[in-house]
Amino acid sequence: MVSNRLNKVHKQITKKKGKTPNLHENSRDTQRLQRAAGRDDKINRVSRLREKQNRPYLLRIKSFQSFTTEHESPLSVSELQAMIEDYLGRDDEELAKLKADRRPGRPPMTRQTLLEQNQAVEQGEYASGFWVPDLEDAENLRKLKEWSGQWANLATLKFARISKEGLKRESSFPPKGMS
């Protein structure tokens, strides 16, 4: 993917040297092109990494958005806990199938190990406070229903941490630690 900065540098060089510039290996212009390409690669790499890190939170919020399609009024903490427990059990069927398909004495498949690790992490988060959109607020519920699925649009929503004991704490966006 060629970015705007690399295009600018390339345009400046072709303006100075002509349509087909004959650049030697260590010329200043070649070094400028290499630096611009390096910057673009770094930006693309960082943005892909950020998207990969944000994907679980986006999927979580999308699933809560789909859970709330039939709700018009704000939800109570107990209803939120039921939604969270439903969300935490989303991979139970696949995990049971993987366990049943495995022959005795064989090590678990990688997918099974990943699912178990993910469930353990999410159960630990639920014990201390599961990060979800605050659905006790009617305005926030409306915003969640209208959410387009973009990470940048989540800044308008309010979030909370709901624990297994039923405690609710306000939280920030994006999720950091136990905020």
Share of the chain above pLDDT 70, in %: 96
Any idea where the domains of the chain sit in the sequence?
57-171
For residue 176, CA distances in Å to 57, 134, 173 come to 12, 16, 8
Share of the chain above pLDDT 90, in %: 49
Which numeric CATH code is attached to 57-171?
A: 1.20.1440.170
In the chain, alpha helices (H): 4-17, 28-67, 77-88, 92-101, 110-128, 138-146
Q: With contact defined as beta carbons under 8 Å apart, do 84 and 162 qualify?
A: yes
Report the alpha-carbon distance of residue 126 to residue 161 in Å, rounded: 9
Structure confidence by residue, pLDDT tens digits, 26-85: 888 888 888 888 999 999 999 999 999 989 999 999 999 998 888 888 888 899 999 999
- pLDDT given for residue 179 in this prediction: 57
- DSSP code for 70: G
Least confident of 29-33, 110-114, 153-157: 29-33
The average pLDDT across 89-115 equals 92
For residue 169, CA distances in Å to 59, 143, 173 come to 22, 20, 13
pTM: 0.76
